[in-house]
Amino acid sequence: MPGHNKPPGKKLFTPKRIEKTGDNQDFNEDVIYVSTGPSHCGFITSSGDVYTFGKNDYLQLGHTSNFTLGPMKVPSIPPMKQIECGELHTVALSESERSTHGAMQALKIHYARSLNGAHAIL
């Protein structure tokens, strides 16, 4: 995975920089928004694409991989502006839409709008 050399059977606790390179066709954009949960991370690129990585026990990454060490694009969602990663869930927001993944049934999520755009209040 990009940015990581994880030996089998070892846990990865130290964050490592993921380089943006011209030869990496999956990730070659500026990051405009980042959020981290206890066991996963997510970010939004300048084009609104959503990438997540980490543990995926509750499908909070938005894709079916059990665990990813590097950024993986969340498929089939419109461009987003903000992302928030909780313990068991991820919420991505645009001006008019939201994309939720993970253990959402146990949560009560309220959405509010401000002059700066949409925000999730968890």
Q: Which helix (H) or strand (E) segment is 100 a member of?
A: strand 98-102
Mean pLDDT value of segment 93-97: 90
- The β-bridge partners of 122 are none
pLDDT higher than threshold 80 for residue 24? no
pTM: 0.70
Distance CA 57, CA 74 (A): 16
